[in-house]
Amino acid sequence: MRVEKLLEASAARHPDKVALVTDEARVTYAELNATADRLAGALRRRGVGRGDRVVVMLDNSVETVATLFATLKAGAVFSVMNPTTKGEKLAYVLNNCRAAAVVTQERLLPVVAGAVAQAPSVGATVVAGSAAEPAVRGGVGLHAALDEAPAAPAAPVGGEGIDQDLAMVIYTSGSTGSPKGVMMAHSNILCATRSVAQYLELTPDDVLLCVLPLSFGYGLNQIFTSCLVGGTVVLEKSFAYPAATLQKFERERVTGFALVPTIAAILLMRNLTPGQFPNLRYITNAAAALPPAHIARLREVFPSTRLYSMYGQTECTRTLFLPPDQLDVRPGSIGKAIPNTEAWIVDETGRRVGPGEVGELVVRGGHVMRGYWENPEATERALRPGPTPGERVLHSGDLFRADDEGFLYFVSRKDDIIKTRGEKVSPKEVENVLYDLPGVREAAVIGVPDPILGQAIRAVVVLAEDGCLTDRQIIAHCGRHLEDFMVPRSVEFRAELPKTDSGKIRRTEVQAEALRALEAAAPA
């Protein structure tokens, strides 16, 4: 089965049920499916065929969800970008995956048009909210494209696809600084979707509230699991106005809420009355661990709501979850493998280790990615031979240990990827941008503890002798070239940085120094 069948089956089963609620619209399954069909036709008319890549850069909206399914119906592969992505990175991605089309919105057109100009593969740029012909190669307004497309679904160019075809390529931070495209086949997505829906016990009565961007696997998972069971997703653009979002909990009778620690921190800054949200059946947390104090406070404010701690990564969507009844027994654990998958810990030589020993988590299951797009070296490091012939298992890059009963505990990353606001940031990617700024001689990017962000990004910088940059100038430069979550929150100036004998900056030492300084400054 392919991913678009999730939508088609729900549209056939209960056409009039509300699939999606946004600030602007309420759409039923039949309407969403019809829009996706038309948009698939529009993409095909513009040359998008089986296996082609379509890059999607939109705020959370009905159009975003329709575009994802339309791309799959056209037999193509979607790649969702964070809407704060800047021109250079977008151009890199468009060229890296040789995108055939881009779907975006009017507000983002200046960034997108600049990137498309540098990406010769892009033949069509569909722009939501644009009435006139947008000034970009292959530009067409979304509504104009829908109007001219046939209502009835046409056969995909290049034949009907199967579930072994790629469905999405999601770019994720790599430790080398260049983003890597995680390739997921339809079967990979469906495997993760079914497993998550099973352990969360989702039903058609569920109403999931999603404030996460759909460029994030965890956000996408909300859409796919809801479509699988025929539920409803209340899709928000952000969690910037918690009061407005919380009103929707009551108005839409929300039963499931997916959060990351930053959202929990913002939520818990408010005065919430315990029992205020009786319909809320469960809360999930992923991307990073919740601080124990926040777990306790969430339990207090949501006494009848089950709280799931979860762990995953773009390369397989989801790996572990802790059954809510275990939260009081082992609050620091993120549980065991999700249904129909296996996870274990190995040492440097690949040998499985016993309880208490720290090693790398290995993941086995039908949800494991196909590899990184046109990056065989990185693929070979992450995917290694598994227990059955021809099988490959995912080496997660995360260090874990297990307790005597097999429950798993996250220890740290193997590499120096920083987790901030639930997103992975490669220090190298930020450092590359810093080095582009005249006046910066040396730079090390580190994560420092932050009560809301988990880790906040800090740029530690040595200026050139004639350099006279302020922290604001450095942050502003980063803001012009990086997604918002990658922009340093603070800048520290140093006369020099610790280096290895070969002259390489020792980032881990800079990180350790910063942590020691923070500890020394903290009140006892």
Partner 1 sequence: MQTPKTGADVETAVREFIAENYLFGAGPESISDTDSFLAQGIINSMGVLELITFLENTYDIKVGDDEVVPDNLDSVRQVAAYVRRKLGSPGNNGTGSGHAG
Strand 101-105 to 124-128 pairing: parallel
Asked if residue 234 lies in contact with residue 262, where contact means CB atoms within 8 angstroms, the answer is: no
Q: Does 80 bind partner 1 (CB under 8 A)?
A: no
Q: Does 477 bind partner 1 (CB under 8 A)?
A: yes
Torsion of CA 110, 483, 24, 212, to 10 degrees: 160
Number of residues in contact with partner 1, rule: CB under 8 A?
25
**Binding partner 1 by CB under 8 A: which of 237, 253, 294, 306?**
237
**Binding partner 1 by CB under 8 A: which of 243, 495, 521, 524?**
243
**Binding partner 1 by CB under 8 A: which of 452, 462, 463, 515?**
452
Q: Does 504 bind partner 1 (CB under 8 A)?
A: no
**Cα–Cα–Cα angle for 72, 77, 81, nearest 5°?**
110
**Binding partner 1 by CB under 8 A: which of 132, 476, 512, 518?**
476
Q: How many other C-beta atoms lie within 10 A of the C-beta of residue 456? A: 18
Q: Check residue 51 and give left, alpha or beta (phi > 0: left; psi -120 to 50: alpha).
A: left
Q: How far is the CB of 225 from partner 1 (least distance, A)?
A: 24
Q: Does 352 bind partner 1 (CB under 8 A)?
A: no
Q: Does 472 bind partner 1 (CB under 8 A)?
A: yes
* Residues recorded for the chain: 524
Stretch that binds partner 1, among 32-40, 155-163, 405-413, 479-487 (CB under 8 A): 479-487
With respect to partner 1, which residue has the nearer C-beta, 204 or 241? 241
Asked if residue 269 lies in contact with residue 250, where contact means CB atoms within 8 angstroms, the answer is: no
400 is written with which tokens? 């874990």
**Binding partner 1 by CB under 8 A: which of 20, 56, 108, 362?**
108
Instruction: Name the residue among 93, 113, 117, 104 with its Cα closest to residue 145.
Output: 104
Q: Does 462 bind partner 1 (CB under 8 A)?
A: no
Determine the 3-state secondary structure of 130 from DSSP.
Answer: coil
**Binding partner 1 by CB under 8 A: which of 107, 143, 297, 330?**
107
**Binding partner 1 by CB under 8 A: which of 240, 293, 512, 517?**
240
Q: Does 364 bind partner 1 (CB under 8 A)?
A: no
Buried b (16+ CB within 10 A) or exposed e, 91-115: bbbbebbebbbbbbbbebbebbbeb
Stretch that binds partner 1, among 140-148, 155-163, 237-245, 493-501 (CB under 8 A): 237-245
With respect to partner 1, which residue has the nearer C-beta, 331 or 479? 479
Stretch that binds partner 1, among 263-271, 275-283, 326-334, 368-376 (CB under 8 A): 263-271
Q: Does 509 bind partner 1 (CB under 8 A)?
A: no
494 is written with which tokens? 């140093």
CA dihedral for 89, 93, 98, 102, sign (positive or negative): negative
Asked if residue 342 lies in contact with residue 166, where contact means CB atoms within 8 angstroms, the answer is: no
State the burial class of residue 400 (Cβ atoms within 10 Å of its Cβ: 0-12, 13-18, 19+).
Answer: buried
User: What residues line the site for partner 1 (CB under 8 A)?
Assistant: 59, 83-84, 107-108, 237-244, 266, 270-271, 421, 452-453, 472, 476-477, 479-480, 484
